[in-house]
Structure 1
Amino acid sequence: MDLRCHLSLLRLLLSLLLFSLYPLSLHARQFVLVLSQDDLKDAQNDDASSPDSDASWDDDDFGGTHVRPDDELDPGSWRRLFEPSSTPTSTFDDGTLGSYYAAVEKMISASTNGDARMMEEAAAEIETAANTEGDPHARSVLGFLHGMGMMLERNKAKAFLNHYFAAEGGNAQSMMALAYTYSRQDMYEKAVKLYAELAEIAVNSFLISKDSPVIEPVRIHNGAEENKEALKKSRGEDDEDFQILEYQAQKGNAGAMYKMGLFYYFGLRGLRRDHAKALMWFLKAVDKGEPRSMELLGEIYARGAGVERNYTKALEWLSLASKQGLFSAYNGMGYLYVKGYGVEKKNYTKAKEYFERAADNEDAGGHYNLGVMYLKGIGVKKDVKIACKCFIVAANAGQPKAFYQLAKMFHTGVGLKKNLPMATALYKLVAERGPWSSLSRWALESYLKGDVGKAFLLYSRMAELGYEIAQSNAAWILDKYGERSMCMGESGLCTDAERHQRAHSLWWQASEQGNEHAALLIGDAYYYGRGTVRDYERAAEAYIHAKSQSNAQAMFNLGYMHEHGQGLPFDLHLAKRYYDQALEIDPAAKLPVTLALTSLWIRKNYADSLLVNIIDSLPEVYPKVEEWVENVIMEEGNATILTLFVCLLTVLYLRERQRRHAAGEVALPNEHDLPAPH
């Protein structure tokens, strides 16, 4: 097995090692990690150093089965308001915590109804709980309100201070907000510590035998339009496909039963987590001999998820799954032998044997677990080089816990050269799978129910934590729904200026994380002066950023700016090149590109002519014509008169046409009147 890790990595490291992080990545583009031989050059010197000497290696690297409730992992979470059935009602009456949740509930209701007075009351109550009672969770929300400028002064300094003290008080969401703030400012020493702690919380909730399904936040828009296809798949029990699946499961289809259990266990496809229903469907599926359900039953009993924890039963189910050829189940069995759970005693030799079986069958978890054994020297001689290589193989196959280990290696300089920016990026990806990601699910549920205001509030909160998809979703809601977004400003519902400014800020943050549509909109904002001061040079910078991600619209815009010398040098050759590139990327752009090339030809051959002046005046004339049509022609009374006039002309035309047709028929001679042929 050692040789397998060596050979796999040697092939990868002879050239640059490229691998894409798993699909959970919340960036608009895949995050690509590039490793060279230099990254491993000092690894041989690390064998003597013990990872255990660093506090960051003290956690359970195999993944924990001692599951804590999400409320403990994410204190101050709004889960109690959105999933009250999963939380004891007595906790609502817990002094300060009770008043905190009452204020948050009022804030959420105000966002639904667009009630500025209620939002003002909620903000005042939260401010009192934060400043007078010192509640860290109220401080976290107060930081959010100051950061967004919602019924309070928009003040980044106050937002930072409140998040800082909230994080000190144990609020994980404020820790996320602080870490994101530090990373944006390249303060990696501070960001990496926070993200490391948050990533550890996320990792300890992962499964022991296989990776949890990726519950990725849904992007509710596709460019400027609503993402109907993605939304259709997130309607939970109302989704037609889910209802068909449920019908198939009820008719005895084992695969459908397994999927039903999976959806309920992990809360997929817009469903709420329901361990009781998941257990029911898994048990029905195993009666049909479905091996994947056997493995998940092993997980359920090992974790005590909805049942009493029973390691003996867990081992039985995992063993049955492995006998059915489900190699990932060997990871769970190996874990139980490492821990000594459900077996007579710990047996590292047996554990290593099971992990090797999983790895030999190309299971990423097997490589990961072997890496942990070599990293810690559990049942084998400690070898950080082999551990590192096994983690890279596992990460290359998409194992999220392996990303966490690589992040720690980049963080501590054990096995890999110390690289804090890389460690920060990897920790962030793992941390974003933490329990606070439930905000996305609640926001999506609200949006699908038509509660745009609540969805915007939740996406805004999530955006503050650094989720790119939430940033773009919140910005899109502002642009798409305008006043109906129920956006709250400093002293009431957002003015147009506040809404544009907030959308601009959100799009900017999303563009920093690789969202090409956001970069394009930032360029538009600077070009047209929407929500910010008009600045052609900054518009060009944003368009160049979007163009680097093969955005046809950005290429067209850059061509136009070169053609007119706006923010870029006047250069007709470069303009033509950008227009041509836009057409290559998007064939649908043929008409605008053809018109632009025609304009370019006229400008080149008839410079300073009247025709060129007319073309140059079109951008100024068009808005005036559009405004005249909207204010005069489309004004309700005028539009009605115009419509009636057009209808009258149509009737007169049809009557005249009918009259002429009738006259023609009368003029035609009867065939009996025609002379007989000779």
Structure 2
Amino acid sequence: ALGFLYASGLGVNSSQAKALVYYTFGALGGNLIAHMILGYRYWAGIGVLQSCESALTHYRLVANHVASDISLTGGTVVQRIRLADEVENPGMASGMLEEDLIQYYQFLAEKGDVQAQVGLGQLHLHGGRGVEQNHQRAFEYFNQAANAGNSHAMAFLGKMYSEGSDVVPQSNETALQYFKKAADMGNPVGQSGLGMAYLYGRGVPVNYELALKYFQKAAEQGWVDGQLQLGSMYYNGIGVKKDYKQALKYFNLASQGGHILAFYNLAQMHATGTGVMRSCHTAVELFKNVCERGRWSERLMTAYNSYKDGDSNSAVVQYLLLAEQGYEVAQSNAAFILDQKEASIVGENETYPRALLHWNRAASQGYTVARIKLGDYHFYGFGTDVDYETAFIHYRLASEQQHSAQAMFNLGYMHEKGLGIKQDIHLAKRFYDMAAEASPDAQVPVFLALCKLGVIYSLQYIREINIREVFSHIDMDQLLGPEWDLYLMTIIALLLGTIIAYRQRQHQAIPRPAGLRPAVPQQEPPPEHQPPQ
């Protein structure tokens, strides 16, 4: 706690040196969060010399704990909701399910809709998307769907009985029955469950040949558990000849499906150079991914809910702690709240400098909006001095690495005005065109910018022809004022609107031939409801 307070400067004067001392003592005492924070600091070089090997040591220790805590039914579902994205794109799905939609699927499930029952069962089994984990509700929904003959529900009941909980007593025999019923119907979850039973002798004698057979069947259908277990059998040489290339293949497939243990196994292979060229950097990134799936990731939703409930102070404190642990989404959300000056817990004079710090950390982890924000802060002088050259560098990075239309537009404007770079009308047009190609939303502002650019180019051309003496003394700022370009854009917009209105009136005035009517569009059948996944 003291390390976090000194790192964030909440209630005390910020001191990264003192924070490092307290984090180190916490790690020596076995605190996993302190290990995770130190791992991130050594990885990013925050307050310490950057050291991949030191980061690897801390992250691996935490990842070992997270991996050992993964159950058969799966790990923690992490909701990564970025506040800035919600504001920039209000229509973009956040991954959260609306209460009305949940109630709708509950209604369908009560009416006997099997797909809705299975979907709600999975939601309550793992939790996430705004639904709290509830094994009792999950068991009830799966049981209803299984009684209707759904193989997926049977397989998940098998997983629940195999794992055991306060709701479902552990029973290898019952689990085996459900797995077999599902597998006989070709269900990959059931096939993988049978493979686990034969691999570890749960309710049946150990039989590696049958385990391999069922894992292969499940893997062929893309089920990540089957792919993971196949990789493990090849890695350890269980029932097959040890083959690291095959192990790597199946671990990669399972990781593409998001399996935490697949990331963990790949990290181990890269950390030790087993079957691959040793890469500390790749191992750290993979271990970091595993660590961020730990139980503490649930605080992301706690912080989000606090923000939505209007408690920005509580939200920003929670995001700041998660940001210290290296969560990029927490860094960007903390920066967003500070940027909006919604947290009274931070002094007004400190909001922009602290926001700048966390935008910088989020940008270093590849978040495009954060990179553009860094450019904006240096362009306008928020929390730092105005620095057009640095702003240009950040916009260029966002343009080249993330293909951001906003960054391209900003680069066009800076080339047009000669801010932080030599004025170049041709390059300005190039970046404006690139912005229009990168995003349809940029086409209107790009059109207006190009119109203004055309006038500027024409004036420059006129100055260079024979009558240059006549126009060389013309200064648009003196003639029309410093905001002449805004006046020009307004006139162009008005002319464009007038032309569109005129063409619409002409179109309405055209008489239609007798007997012809506008075609009535065929109504498409309503889409079939799908349960949440």
How far does the alpha carbon of each residue in 1:60-92 deviate from its partner, in whole angstroms, 9 at most, with x for none?
xxxxxxxxxxxxxxxxxxxxxxxxxxxxxxxxx
Name the CA distance, whole Å, in 2 between partners of 1:616 and 1:347: 87
**Is contact 2:412-2:427 (8 Å) kept?**
yes
| Structure 1 residues 228 and 452: CA distance shift in structure 2, 3 A | farther
1:286-321 Cα deviation digits (max 9, x unpaired): 122222222222222222233332222222222222
Q: Which runs of 5+ in 1 are unaligned?
A: 1-140, 623-678
SS at match of 1:436: helix
Q: In the alignment, which residue of structure 1 is the partner of 2:527?
A: none
Change (3 A) 1:397 1:223: closer
Match of 2:182 in 1: 321
SS state at 2:93 partner = helix
Which position in structure 2 is the counterpart of 1:589? 445
Change (3 A) 1:618 1:206: farther
Which deviates more, 436-445 or 559-568? 559-568
> 2:235 and 2:177 mapped to 1: Cα distance?
29
In the other structure, the counterpart of 1:230 is: 93
Query: Does the C-alpha gap of structure 1 residues 274 and 393 become closer, same or farther in structure 2, counting only changes over 3 Å?
Result: closer
Matched, 1:200 2:43: no
1:363-442 to 2 correspondences below 5 Å: 363-396=223-256, 398-442=258-302
2:159 to 291, 294, 299: 299
Q: Tell me the CA shift for residue 566 of structure 1.
A: 2.3
Residue by residue over 1:627-658, the C-alpha shift from the partner in whole angstroms, topping out at 9 and shown as x without a partner, is xxxxxxxxxxxxxxxxxxxxxxxxxxxxxxxx
Give the CA deviation at 1:234.
4.3
Is 1:571 paired with 2:432?
A: no
Residues 220, 226 of structure 1: 8 Å contact kept: no
Instruction: Give the aligned partner of residue 670 of structure 1.
Output: none
Q: Per the alignment, do residues 469 and 227 of structure 1 end up closer, same or farther by CA in structure 2, a change over 3 Å counting?
A: farther
Q: Deviations over 1:445-472 (max 9, x none)?
A: 2223232222222222212211111211
Aligned amino acid, residue 343 of structure 2: S
In the alignment, is the contact (CA less than 8 A) between 1:606 and 1:612 conserved in 2? no
Does the CA-based 8 Å contact 1:221-1:227 persist in structure 2?
Answer: no
Alpha-carbon offset, residue 577 of structure 1: 1.5
- 1:213 and 1:183 mapped to 2: Cα distance? 24
1:421 positional shift: 0.6
Q: What is the 5 A alignment of 1:497-646? A: 497-548=349-400, 549-585=402-438, 586-598=442-454, 600-601=456-457, 604-605=460-461, 609-614=473-478, 618=482
Shift of 1:609: 4.8
Deviation at 1:337, TM superposition (A): 2.2
What CA deviation, in whole Å up to 9, does each residue of 1:358-404 have, x standing for no partner?
23334343232122112112222223233223323444555443232
The CA deviation string for residues 432-452 of structure 1, in whole angstroms up to 9 with x for no partner, is 111111011111222232322
* Cα contact 2:77–2:126 (8 A) shared by 1: no
Match of 2:188, SS? coil
Give the SS at the match of 2:235: helix
Q: For residues 205 and 614 of structure 1, what CA distance do their matches in structure 2 show? A: 71
Deviation (angstroms), 1:270: 0.8
Distance in 1, matches of 2:31 and 2:473, equals 66
What displacement does 1:620 show? 12
What is the aligned partner in structure 2 of residue 216 from structure 1? Answer: 79
Q: Distance in 1 between matches of 2:11 and 2:221?
A: 57
Q: Which residue of 1 aligns with 2:514?
A: none
CA distance in 2, matches of 1:362, 1:615: 69
Alignment match, 2:116: 256
1:457-501 residue CA offsets vs partner (Å, 9 max, x unmatched): 222221221111121122222223x1x323x24xxxx12x20011
When Rg is computed on C-alpha atoms for both structures, the one with the higher figure is 1
Distance 2:426 2:326 in 1: 40
Displacement, 1:414? 0.7
CA distance in structure 2 between the partners assigned to 1:621 and 1:525 by the alignment: 24
**CA displacement 1:264-292 (0-9 Å, x = unmatched):** 22112212212222222222221222222
Residues 615 and 301 (structure 1 numbering): CA distance in 2 closer, same or farther, change over 3 Å? farther
Contact 1:223 1:517 in 2 (8 A): no
CA contact (8 A) 1:207 1:299 kept: no
Deviation at 1:612, TM superposition (A): 3.9
Counterpart in 2 of 1:37?
none
- Amino acid in the other structure paired with 2:372: L
Are the counterparts in 2 of residues 220 and 230 from structure 1 also a CA contact under 8 Å?
no
1:485 paired residue number? 343
TM-score by length of 2: 0.81
Mapped partners of 1:354, 1:265: distance in 2? 24
Question: What amino acid does structure 2 have at the position aligned with 1:255?
Answer: Q
Instruction: Tell me which amino acid in the other structure corresponds to 1:269.
Output: R
C-alpha distance 290-309 of structure 1, shift in aligned 2 (>3 A): same
- 1:223/1:506 CA distance change after superposition, 3 Å: farther
Moved more, 443-452 or 397-406: 397-406
Pick closer, same or farther for the CA change 1:499–1:397 going to 2, 3 Å.
Answer: closer
Query: What amino acid maps onto 1:318 in structure 2?
Result: F
**In 2 relative to 1, CA 157–228 (structure 1 residues): closer, same or farther, beyond 3 Å?**
farther
Residues in 2 aligned to 1:512 and 1:619: alpha-carbon distance in whole angstroms: 37
Contact 1:208 1:331 in 2 (8 A): no
Contact 1:579 1:596 in 2 (8 A): no
Q: Who is 2:135 aligned against? A: 275
The answer for unaligned runs of 5 or more in structure 2 is 464-471, 487-533
**Per-residue displacement from partner, 1:235-276 (whole Å, max 9, x unpaired)?**
5xxx11011111111222222122222222211221221222
- Deviations 1:318-375, CA, capped at 9 Å, x for gaps: 22221222113222222222222222x3222222222122233343432321221121
Measured in 2, the distance between the counterparts of 1:599 and 1:191 equals 55
Distance 1:450 1:169 in 2: 36
User: Identity over aligned residues, as a percent?
Assistant: 35
Distance 2:481 2:279 in 1: 53
Call closer, same or farther: CA 1:584–1:597 in 2, change over 3 Å: farther
Deviation at 1:184, TM superposition (A): 0.9
Deviations 1:95-151 (A, max 9, x none): xxxxxxxxxxxxxxxxxxxxxxxxxxxxxxxxxxxxxxxxxxxxxx22111111111
Give distance in 2, aligned partners of 1:517 and 1:454: 24
CA distance in 2, matches of 1:379, 1:171: 39
Quote the residue 2:316 is aligned against.
456
Contact map agreement 1:177 1:465 (CA 8 A) in 2:
yes
Q: How does 1:75-90 map to 2 (within 5 A)?
A: none
Residue equivalent to 2:21? 161
Do the aligned residues in 1 keep the contact of 2:429 with 2:450 (CA within 8 Å)? Answer: no
Q: In 2, distance between residues paired with 1:614 and 1:335?
A: 81
Give the Cα–Cα distance (whole angstroms) in 2 for the partners of residues 166 and 592 of structure 1. Answer: 57
Amino acid of the structure 1 residue aligned with 2:216: E
How many angstroms apart in 2 are the aligned matches of 1:474 and 1:619? Answer: 36
| Counterpart contact for 1:218–1:230, Cα < 8 Å | no
Contact map agreement 1:583 1:593 (CA 8 A) in 2: no
Question: Does the CA-based 8 Å contact 1:602-1:612 persist in structure 2?
Answer: no
| 2:330 alignment counterpart | 470
Is the CA contact 2:372–2:398 (under 8 Å) kept in the aligned structure 1?
yes
Q: Secondary structure at the match of 2:176?
A: helix
CA distance in 2, matches of 1:205, 1:335: 18
Name the aligned partner's letter for residue 368 of structure 2: E
Aligned CA distance change for structure 1 residues 504 and 592 (closer, same or farther; 3 Å): farther
Say whether the 8 Å CA contact 1:319–1:333 is kept in structure 2: yes
- Which amino acid in 2 is paired with 1:359? A
